[in-house]
């Protein structure tokens, strides 16, 4: 039986900063963070993303220097997104050993071998229609797309990617990628599945940052934001197919899903604090409505507390420079 007041006084352990630090249950460090970056080919200088204050498209030719700065700041991992000038109807540039995807991965890994370089494995940034695969009869063809995802994964791993992170939300994509990697002698390359990815309204600024002009929507393959049980099924399925890590995207609005997946899986679990979450905090801070540093600390702490081991966040460089 819990003793009543005044015997039990919970404020005793909050009396000083040192005591509060001593009993703090959840912590976030740079070891937990993955920094997403946008790399644009045929770009002369850094291009600011207006909807994401502080975020820039990185010119491909300046990628090596930027990655060195990121590593020197103490960040341990990046995820790469390409801004392509060579789009077609199926994202063919990602299937070329000299395409943007392969080039940026090689430059990033060569520049900072100690960084964990994660390749976002999808086609939306490289297709004229902005969808995540091959279109047949106004729909993304699942099986042809997962075959291409396997091919892209092999290209990425050979170029230097330490981790493959498929985000297309195709059925069977993890099994197809694992088979392609293993069939090409890349058995030690892990797969971080975007296992539970919602068709969210929080992605808006990302599309501007990545140059992804979407025709229609992705509701036929990304998850309904109102479905919780299905969200768990998605992650359980990806674990069964051979995923080495799982992910929930977005993070903040789906803490319940993170928590429930954490209870059902022993795999490392990532959560993606997406562009819309970042933008809301940045713009609110600019308006003087919130204390940015405190809100960032609180939001990331909530994601960790819910059960995430890793957090993808555009705040990673701010944190590296300023601390928590």
Instruction: Kindly name the residue from 197, 215, 282, 304 that is annotated as catalytic.
Output: 197
Q: CB within 8 A of 177, min separation 6: which ones? A: 121, 146, 149, 150, 153, 164, 166, 191
Q: How far from chain centre, in Å, is Cα 273?
A: 8
Kind plus residue range of the DSSP H or E element containing 312? strand 310-313
CB contact at 8 A, 302 and 255: yes
For residue 60, whether the previous peptide bond is cis, meaning omega lies within 30 degrees of 0, is: no
Q: How far from chain centre, in Å, is Cα 263?
A: 21
For residue 6, whether the previous peptide bond is cis, meaning omega lies within 30 degrees of 0, is: yes
Rounded to 5 degrees, what are φ and ψ at 80? Answer: -100, 135
197 counts as catalytic:
yes
87 counts as catalytic:
no
Q: CB within 8 A of 146, min separation 6: which ones? A: 168, 170, 171, 172, 173, 176, 177
Rounded to 5 degrees, what are φ and ψ at 280? Answer: -60, -45
CB contact at 8 A, 7 and 13: no
> Measured between alpha carbons, how far is residue 266 from residues 143, 245, 284, 308 in Å?
29, 9, 36, 11
Instruction: Kindly name the residue from 76, 87, 106, 249 that is annotated as catalytic.
Output: 249
Closest CA to 254 of 206, 195, 214: 195
* Alpha helices, H only, the chain: 17-22, 63-72, 100-111, 142-159, 173-183, 204-210, 229-241, 255-264, 275-286, 292-306, 316-322
- Active-site residues, by number, are 197, 249
């Amino acid at each position: 039986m819990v003793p009543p007041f005044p015997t039990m006084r919970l404020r005793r352990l909050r009396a000083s900063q040192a005591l509060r630090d001593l009993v703090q249950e959840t912590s976030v460090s740079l070891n937990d963070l993955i920094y997403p970056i946008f790399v644009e080919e045929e770009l002369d200088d850094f291009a600011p993303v207006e909807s994401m204050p502080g975020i820039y498209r990185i010119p491909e030719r300046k990628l090596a220097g930027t990655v060195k700065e990121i590593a020197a700041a103490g960040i341990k991992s990046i995820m790469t997104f390409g801004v392509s000038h060579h789009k077609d109807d199926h994202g063919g540039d990602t299937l070329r050993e000299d395409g943007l995807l392969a080039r940026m991965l090689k430059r990033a890994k060569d520049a900072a071998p100690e960084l964990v370089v994660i390749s976002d494995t999808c086609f939306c940034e490289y297709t004229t229609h902005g969808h995540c695969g091959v279109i047949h009869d106004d729909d993304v063809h699942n099986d042809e797309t997962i075959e291409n995802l396997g091919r892209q994964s092999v290209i990425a791993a050979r170029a230097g990617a330490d981790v493959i992170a498929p985000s297309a939300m195709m059925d069977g994509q993890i099994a197809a990628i694992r088979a392609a990697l293993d069939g090409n002698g890349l058995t030690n390359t892990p797969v971080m599945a975007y296992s539970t990815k919602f068709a969210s309204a929080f992605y808006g600024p990302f599309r501007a940052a990545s140059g992804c002009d979407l025709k229609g929507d992705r509701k036929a393959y990304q998850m309904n934001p109102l479905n919780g049980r299905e969200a768990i099924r998605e992650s359980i399925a990806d674990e069964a197919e051979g995923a080495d890590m799982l992910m929930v995207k977005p993070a903040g609005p789906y803490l319940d899903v993170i928590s429930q997946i954490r209870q059902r899986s022993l795999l490392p679990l990532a959560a993606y604090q997406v562009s819309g979450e970042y933008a809301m905090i940045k713009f609110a801070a600019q308006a003087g409505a919130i204390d940015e540093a405190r809100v960032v600390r609180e939001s990331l702490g909530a994601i960790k507390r819910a059960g995430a081991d890793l957090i993808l966040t555009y705040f990673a460089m701010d944190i590296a420079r300023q601390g928590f």
